[in-house]
């Protein structure tokens, strides 16, 4: 009986990754709940992210970053949370929805190859970067304690950006630091989607409950991806925390400045990595598990109707 259940689970798992030609559809319920899971995980893990951000900007220890937040007071503890809540909600829809659509376009019949998953993931990351970079830009300004006096709210930052000309709004405002964001998101999505399913399939063959492989796969894969690209995360945070009409350094100059201010030590670049492991584990684990659960539920209902 146990072998039959495992076999049925594997068959269903294969079907969720290989749609019949012409049957690929937009599963609104799955993407809606995926967005909700991103919303909840972002709210719960935001304090961790804020500590990590302070480490990225000031290169301080965890205790010092926590001390700074405590000293500023509880009224500023969740300052800057609205942009990430909006962006993560959109990310839950864009990331998986765009990836599935592109994967179906590249190959309507599964199973999909590593190259196809990599390409679809890379392209979905590009879409994500274009759509969500302005949210991250505003968030990084809000979280920088040095900007609290001049820009106390999201509205004040948007007012500043909109006072620029058209090109200034893009290059100095909403899309400042866009190129490292583009590289980080595209490579991150490609890595995540390339190895998410292989890790999950390998764990599923161990006879674990169906939600465990998805949770572990999302957690491990998302964490490793974030750690690999962590230097880009630090670079983006530093580039996007600046505001105003001052001369904007090139990408290489910004990277060199971060490297110099960290004492040319890779360990200081990765300061905050321990906390991002925890945050990434929770966020990507929950998102992957919920998405997999909804996908299974949708296919089960579809098979019962057929």
With CA atoms as reference, report the closest residue to 240 among 155, 157, 162. 157
d(CA 282, CA 278): 6
| Token representation of residue 296 | 């299974």
CB 69 within 8 A of CB 107: no
d(CA 198, CA 118): 13
The domain segmentation of the chain, as residue ranges, is 22-304
Buried b (16+ CB within 10 A) or exposed e, 262-295: beeeeebbbbbbebbbebbbbbbbbbbbbbbbbb
CB 117 within 8 A of CB 193: yes
pLDDT tens digits in sequence order for the chain, 306 residues long: 444 444 444 444 444 444 444 444 444 554 676 677 778 777 877 877 778 777 767 777 778 888 888 887 766 777 778 877 887 888 888 888 788 888 888 887 778 899 999 999 999 999 999 999 998 999 888 878 788 788 888 899 999 999 988 888 998 899 999 999 999 999 999 999 999 989 999 998 988 888 899 999 999 998 889 889 999 988 998 899 888 766 667 788 889 988 998 888 888 888 767 777 777 887 888 888 877 877 777 777 767 776
CATH superfamily, with its number, for domain 22-304: Mitochondrial carrier domain (1.50.40.10)
d(CA 119, CA 124): 9
For 229-283, write each residue's pLDDT tens digit: 999 988 998 899 888 766 667 788 889 988 998 888 888 888 767 777 777 887 8
| Token representation of residue 8 | 């049925």
CB 112 within 8 A of CB 17: yes
What's the pTM?
A: 0.78
CA triple 173-72-242, angle to 5 deg = 20
d(CA 262, CA 115): 37
């Amino acid at each position: 009986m146990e072998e039959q259940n495992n076999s049925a689970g594997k068959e269903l798992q294969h079907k969720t990754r290989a749609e019949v030609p012409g049957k690929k559809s937009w599963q609104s319920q799955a993407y809606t709940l995926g967005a909700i899971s991103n919303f909840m995980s972002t709210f719960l893990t935001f304090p961790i992210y804020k500590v990590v951000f302070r480490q990225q900007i000031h290169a301080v220890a965890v205790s010092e970053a926590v001390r700074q937040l405590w000293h500023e007071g509880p009224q500023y503890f969740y300052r800057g949370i609205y942009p990430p809540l909006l962006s993560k909600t959109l990310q839950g829809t864009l990331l998986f929805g765009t990836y599935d659509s592109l994967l179906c376009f590249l190959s309507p019949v599964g199973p999909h190859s590593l190259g196809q998953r990599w390409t679809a993931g890379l392209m979905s990351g590009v879409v994500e970067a274009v759509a969500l970079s302005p949210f991250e830009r505003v968030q990084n300004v809000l979280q920088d304690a040095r900007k609290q006096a001049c820009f106390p709210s999201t509205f004040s930052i948007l007012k500043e950006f909109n006072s620029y000309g058209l090109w200034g709004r893009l290059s100095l405002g909403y899309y400042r630091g866009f190129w490292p964001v583009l590289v980080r998101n595209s490579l991150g999505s490609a890595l995540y989607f390339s190895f998410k399913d292989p890790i999950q399939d390998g764990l599923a063959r161990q006879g674990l409950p169906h939600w465990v492989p998805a949770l572990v796969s999302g957690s491990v894969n998302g964490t490793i991806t974030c750690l690999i690209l962590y230097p880009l995360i630090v670079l983006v945070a530093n580039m996007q925390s600046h505001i105003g009409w001052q001369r904007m350094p090139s990408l290489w100059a910004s990277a060199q400045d971060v490297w110099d201010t960290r004492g040319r030590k890779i360990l200081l670049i990765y300061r905050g990595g321990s906390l991002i492991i925890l945050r990434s584990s929770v966020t990507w684990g929950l998102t992957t598990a919920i998405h997999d659960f909804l996908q299974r539920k949708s296919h089960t209902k579809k098979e019962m109707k057929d």
